[in-house]
Structure 1
C-alpha cells in the first residue's frame, strides 16, 4: 500500500519546515529565517498512533511577487497540495492574515481534499481568543499549534490520522518491490534537475539557470519498463570551503546523505565547461561511499565539432581513471537526445553492483593469475595467492587468502582489479578487496 500524503502549504516563513521536522521527528527539512529557503517539494516519512504517512514540505506560496523563483515555488506548492490526500494550511498566528493567506485559502476552498487550517506560533496554550480572525478564511475551525514547542500538534495529528484512516488507498502495481536508488549528483548548474525531470517525465524539480537552485534532495518514485527506481535530485556539490550561506551548507549535507543511500549515482558533467576539479571531487565522494556510477556528459549538443568532443572524452578517460569502471554517456537533458541510453546503463551498473560471482569461477580465474607468474616479492618473501571468495556485494567485496598479505602493494591490487574486470562483467560498479593470511 502506498503511504498517504499530507502536504504542508502556506506563505513563506510561517514555520512549515519547522512543523514538518516536529511531526517527522527529524531535521530533514531545511529550517532558516531566510525567505524562500524551501523551494522544491520534499518528502518525509512520519507516523502517528501507528498510522504511517508521508509529509510533503512545499515552498512558500506568494501570489504577487517578482522573485525569480516565486512562480515556480508557487506552482510546486500547489502541485504538492493537488497530489496530497490531506492538506495542512499553515498560517502565522503572530502576524495574522494577509492577502497571500486569503488567496491560498481561496484556492484550497476549491479543492476536494480535506484541509486543516493550522495557526502556528501560538506558543502560549489556551489562547483561543486570538483565533477568531482566522475563521474568515472559510476553512472551518482553526487549530492552534506551536511547531517550535509542540503545543497542539498532537490534537491536530489525531484529527489528520482519523481522516487518513477514512481515505481509501489503492495499492499501486508493483508496490513493495525493491527500488533502485539513483542519486543525480554533480556541481551546481550542470543540468541535474533538467535530467531528473526528463527521467521522471514531470517537472517536480525546479529548473533554473541560477546556480544553486536545488537545495533539498528530492525523491521521485517511478516505474520504467517494469523496474522501480527512486530518483534523487540533489543540491550541487561544491567544496565546503566555498560554501558561504548556511542554507547552501545544509543542501550540501543533504546531497551527501543522498549519496550515502544511493545504489547508483549519475554524475552529471557540463560538457560546455569540460571536466573540472569539482567533478573529480564529486566522483570521489561517491567512490568513497561505494556507489555504482554512470558519468553523464550533459549539454553535448552544445559542444561544437568532433575534435572538441574527442578532447572532452580524452580528458574524462585521463582524469577520471580512478572511476574508470563508470560508463560515459553523452546526452542533452534539455532536448532529451539520447537520454534513454541512461536506463540501460543504470540497469547494467546495478546488476553488476548487486551480483555474486561463484567461488569456483573466482578460483579458476585466480589459478590463471598464479600460472602467469605475476606476484609481489619483498626481499626473500614471495607473495603466494591461495584462495579467493566473494564476501559481500553492493558493491562486490572479495577476500583473498595469501601467505603474506602484508606485502601486497597498491600496484598489485590495481593489477588484480584490472584482470578481474577483464574476466567478469563489473562495468559500472566499484569493487573492494581484502587480503587475509592463510599458511
Structure 2
C-alpha cells in the first residue's frame, strides 16, 4: 500500500526541524542495530487519526546570504512539488512576511499542488493573531497559526493536511500489477535499464549525471505479464553541491520505494558499492520491500574467475543488514541477464507475499529451541510459547514469550535463519514482533 507523501518547505530558522520532530514523534527514521546505515532524518512515518503518511523534510544546507537562501528555497520547493502529495509551507510570525516567502508561494501556487500554509512560533494566539492575518497576502489560502515548540495548533494543521488526501492515495491499490522501483545513485544506469526493458528510448538519457526529467511509471510486459516500473531518476540541476544531490536522490528514493513491491537497487560495477548505496538500500530494507541488487555495467569490468565471488562478498559486507537481498550482475547496455531479472522479480514477489501456516511455523520453532537453548538472564530463561504469521509484504511474525527482555537480537536472528532455511524467503526482509504472555495466560 502506498502512503501519501507530505513535504515541509520554508526558509531557514522558521522552525522546520522542530515541526518535523514534533510530527515524527518517536518514529524517527534512524535504523537501529543496523550496521552500515546511518541517515539524516530526511523522512518519518506519521500517523494522524486514521491517516498514515510519509513526512519529508526538504531542508538541507542552511545558507548564509539572502540570494542563496532564495535559490535554496526554490530548490526545496521544487523537490516538494516533484515528490509530495501535499506541501506544508512554514513561515514565521515573528519575522513576518518576507520577500522570499512571497516568491516561493508563487511557485507553489503555480504547481497546483495542495498547500497548507502554517505560520509558526505563535505561542499566544490572542497576541499574534493580527500578525497571522498578514500571511493571507501570499494568496495560497488560509494561514494556520501553529507553534512547533509549544505544540499548539498542530492538530488543526494536520486536519487541513489530511483533507487533501484523495481516496486513491488512501485506498489499498486495486492494481494487481507488480510495482518495481528502480533506485540508485545518479548515473548508475537506471534509465538505460528501463529503456532496455522497453526496447525504446522513452526516457531522456545522456551521460551527464542529473539529466533525467521526472519519475515516470512505465508498464513493461514480459512473457505476457505486465509489470509497472517506477523510475526515480530525475535531478533537474547539474550544478548542485554533492550533499544536495545526495539528499535529493534519497528523497526521490523514499517516495518511489513507498509505492513499490520490489526495489531494484542499481549499483555501478565500475565504482563498486558505496555508502550512498547503503543509505538507499537502508530505506528499502526499513520499508520491508522485496530487494534485488542489480550490479550494472558488468560488461565494463575486467574479470577473472574470482571477480563475481569477490564482488558478491564486498556487497554482502557493506550491505550486511540485508543478507537476504538477491544479487544479479547485468548490463543495461548489452541486455546481459535481463531475462534473469524478470525471473528474479517473480521469485521475490512470491516470497514477499508468502504465508506460512501456524502449525508449520511452530514445528520449526520447537525444533529450533531443541537445537539451541534460548538465552537466560539471572537464572530466568526465555520461553517461547507460540508463533504465528500476521501479515505479508513483508512477511511479519509474532512470537509469544514469557519475557520480552530475554529475547536477544542474536536469538531472534537465529530463529529467522531457521525460517529462511525452511522456506527460502529470498529477496525479502522478515519482520518480527515479540509479545509477552504471562504463565497464567497459557
| Equivalent in the alignment of 1:335 | 334
Query: Unaligned regions of 5+ residues in structure 1, if any?
Result: 1-29, 46-119, 122-147, 151-175
Does the 8 A contact of 1:187 with 1:236 survive in 2? no
> Counterpart of 1:244 in 2: which secondary structure?
helix
**Does the alignment pair 1:326 with 2:325?**
yes
**Does the alignment pair 1:272 with 2:270?**
yes
- Structure 1 position 374, deviation (Å): 2.5
> Counterpart of 2:368 in 1: which secondary structure?
helix
| Equivalent in the alignment of 1:296 | 294
Structure 1's 367 and 236: CA in aligned 2 closer, same or farther, altered over 3 A? Answer: farther
Per-residue displacement from partner, 1:251-280 (whole Å, max 9, x unpaired)? Answer: 643331111111100010111111111111
Larger Rg: 1
Alignment of 1:33-182 (within 5 A): 178-182=176-180
| Equivalent in the alignment of 1:213 | 211
| Equivalent in the alignment of 2:343 | 344
- Structure 1 position 308, deviation (Å): 3.8
Give distance in 2, aligned partners of 1:359 and 1:318: 34
Structure 1's 211 and 383: CA in aligned 2 closer, same or farther, altered over 3 A? Answer: same
- Structure 1 position 304, deviation (Å): 0.7
Give distance in 2, aligned partners of 1:385 and 1:244: 47
Give distance in 1, aligned partners of 2:233 and 2:243: 12
Structure 1's 241 and 437: CA in aligned 2 closer, same or farther, altered over 3 A? Answer: farther
- Structure 1 position 437, deviation (Å): 1.1
Alignment of 1:186-205 (within 5 A): 186-205=184-203
| Equivalent in the alignment of 2:370 | 371
| Equivalent in the alignment of 1:314 | 313
| Equivalent in the alignment of 1:244 | 244
Give distance in 1, aligned partners of 2:423 and 2:307: 33
- Structure 1 position 230, deviation (Å): 1.1
- Structure 1 position 400, deviation (Å): 0.3
> Counterpart of 2:285 in 1: which secondary structure?
helix
Give distance in 2, aligned partners of 1:362 and 1:371: 14
Per-residue displacement from partner, 1:210-257 (whole Å, max 9, x unpaired)? Answer: 1122352211123322332110111379xx994437xx8656433311
- Structure 1 position 395, deviation (Å): 0.2
> Counterpart of 1:419 in 2: which secondary structure?
helix
Structure 1's 43 and 285: CA in aligned 2 closer, same or farther, altered over 3 A? Answer: closer
Does the 8 A contact of 2:193 with 2:332 survive in 1? yes
Give distance in 2, aligned partners of 1:251 and 1:275: 16
Give distance in 1, aligned partners of 2:243 and 2:320: 28
Does the 8 A contact of 1:219 with 1:233 survive in 2? yes
Give distance in 1, aligned partners of 2:84 and 2:282: 28
- Structure 1 position 425, deviation (Å): 2.3
Structure 1's 309 and 222: CA in aligned 2 closer, same or farther, altered over 3 A? Answer: closer
Structure 1's 360 and 301: CA in aligned 2 closer, same or farther, altered over 3 A? Answer: same
- Structure 1 position 373, deviation (Å): 3.7
Does the 8 A contact of 1:215 with 1:251 survive in 2? no
Does the 8 A contact of 1:353 with 1:394 survive in 2? yes
| Equivalent in the alignment of 2:419 | 420
**Does the alignment pair 1:392 with 2:391?**
yes
Give distance in 2, aligned partners of 1:43 and 1:257: 7
Does the 8 A contact of 1:303 with 1:309 survive in 2? no
Structure 1's 408 and 260: CA in aligned 2 closer, same or farther, altered over 3 A? Answer: same
Q: How many residues align?
A: 281
Judge which range, 251-260 or 365-374, deviates more: 251-260
| Equivalent in the alignment of 2:436 | 437
Q: TM-score, normalised by structure 1?
A: 0.58
- Structure 1 position 197, deviation (Å): 1.1
Does the 8 A contact of 2:185 with 2:249 survive in 1? no
Does the 8 A contact of 2:253 with 2:280 survive in 1? no
Q: TM-score, normalised by structure 2?
A: 0.57
> Counterpart of 1:340 in 2: which secondary structure?
helix
| Equivalent in the alignment of 1:155 | none
> Counterpart of 2:426 in 1: which secondary structure?
coil
> Counterpart of 2:405 in 1: which secondary structure?
helix
Does the 8 A contact of 1:235 with 1:252 survive in 2? no
- Structure 1 position 345, deviation (Å): 0.6
Structure 1's 389 and 294: CA in aligned 2 closer, same or farther, altered over 3 A? Answer: same
